Amino acid sequence: MTQRMLIDTDTASDDAVALVMALRDPGVVIEAITVVAGNVPLDQAVQNALYTVELCESPVPVYTGLAGPMLRDLESAENVHGSDGMGDIGLDLSGRIPATGRAVDVLVEHFLADPGVVDLVTIGPLTNVAAALLRAPEMASAVRHCYIMGGTGAGTGNVTPLGEFNFWCDPEAAKLVLRSGMDMTMIGWDISVASATFDSDQAAGLRSIGTPFAEFSVDIQAVLTEFALNETKLPGFDLPDPIAMAVAIDPSLATSVARHVEIEIGDGHARGHDIVDWLGVTGKAPNVNVVTHVDREAFLSMLIQRLS
C-alpha cells in the first residue's frame, strides 16, 4: 500500500536529504513539494528543491510559496547551511523553473480534493501551512496526519536557549498550526541530537555507499558540520529533517506521547519555544503527539537503503 504525501520545505542541506529519502522510497507517492523561506531565502530554497528532485530523476512538481514569516522579517540561516544552503560546494543551483501555481493554493486544493488520505510533512517554518489554514480552516480535518519537524521537545534550542529554528523563524505560524486541530506529530531537534548525529567516521561511512545520492547527502553538510562542531557542540552534522521524514514514512520507529503544546510568540530567548505540558498541569487537552525517542539503528537502516 502506497503512502501519499505532500512535503513543505525550506530546502537546505538537511531538507535535501529528507527529500531524497522520500523521493527514492518505493512506498511513497509525493504529490507535490511546496517551498517556503526559512533556512535560505525563497528563491534559493526553490532552486535547491528543484536540484534535488532532478538528482532523483523525479517528476514531482515543486511550487513556490511565501517569501517570509507572517508578521516578521525573514531571518535565514546561511551561517548554518552555507550561502547557497547546500554547503557551498559549487553545485549549479540556478536556472530551474518551478511548477506554475502557488504553494498555499496547492496545499488547500490537494487536501480538500481528497480529504483524509494524504499526509503532510513539514520540514521548514510553518508559514505556508498557516496561510493555507487561514484561507481554508477545514483543511485541518482533511489532512490525514501532519508530521512536523520543529520545536525541541524536552531539549534545548539551536537559535536561542529555548528556540528551535523552524518555530523561531515564524512563531506566529507555528502557534496557528498547533492550534488548528490537525492530527499532528512533532519531531523536535532534541530527537535529531539524540539519534541523527554523524561524526566524521560515520559520515565517511555514509559517503562510502558510493552512489550519487550518498555523496550528495554528505557533501552538502560541509558548512553544517563546521557549525555543529563550533556552535552546537555536536560531534558532526545532524539530520533533523531526515529523521522527521523517517518517522513520517514509518511511525513505528518513534515513541511518542500526546501532550498539549503551546508556542511562545514573544521575542528574546523564548521566541518560538514549544511549551510542552508534560504533566498536564494546564488541564488542556493534548493537541500534538510529541516524539520522545526514535530508534537510531532503524533510522540509519532506512537512510542507508534510500541512499544506496
Q: What is the DSSP letter of 87?
A: T
Close Cβ partners of 189 (under 8 Å, ≥ 6 residues apart): 151, 152, 153, 155, 157, 158, 164, 165, 240
Q: Are 39 and 12 in contact (CB under 8 A)?
A: yes
Q: Are 5 and 35 in contact (CB under 8 A)?
A: no
Q: Given the C-alpha cell 538537511, which residue does it identify?
A: 14
Any idea what the CATH number is for the domain that residue 80 is in? 3.90.245.10
78 backbone dihedrals φ, ψ, rounded to 5°:
-65, -25
Find the DSSP H helices in 164-295. 165-169, 171-178, 189-195, 200-207, 212-219, 222-227, 240-249
The pLDDT score that the predictor gives to residue 253 is 98
Length of the chain: 308
pLDDT (tens, 9 = 90+) of the chain, 308 residues, equals: 799 999 999 999 999 999 999 999 999 999 999 999 999 999 999 999 999 999 999 999 999 999 999 999 999 999 999 999 999 999 999 999 999 999 999 999 999 999 999 999 999 999 999 999 999 999 999 999 999 999 999 889 999 999 999 999 999 999 999 999 999 999 999 999 999 999 999 999 999 999 999 999 999 999 999 999 999 999 999 999 999 999 999 999 999 999 999 999 989 999 999 999 999 999 999 999 999 999 999 999 999 999 99
Q: 235 in helix, strand or coil? A: coil
Which H helix or E strand runs over 128?
helix 127-135
The pLDDT score that the predictor gives to residue 266 is 87
Bridging pattern class, strands 237-238 and 197-198? antiparallel
Task: Domain count for the chain, please give it.
Answer: 1
Question: Which residue range forms the structural domain that includes residue 221?
Answer: 3-307
Query: Which residues in 62-201 belong to E strands, given as ranges?
Result: 62-64, 118-123, 146-149, 184-187, 197-198
Q: Which of 204, 176, 187, 202 is nearest to 147 (CA)?
A: 187
Q: How far apart are CA 244 and CA 235, in angstroms?
A: 20
Q: Are 72 and 267 in contact (CB under 8 A)?
A: no
Q: Which of 134, 136, 144 is nearest to 114 (CA)?
A: 144
Q: How far apart are CA 46 and CA 266, in angstroms?
A: 29
Bridging pattern class, strands 274-276 and 261-263? antiparallel
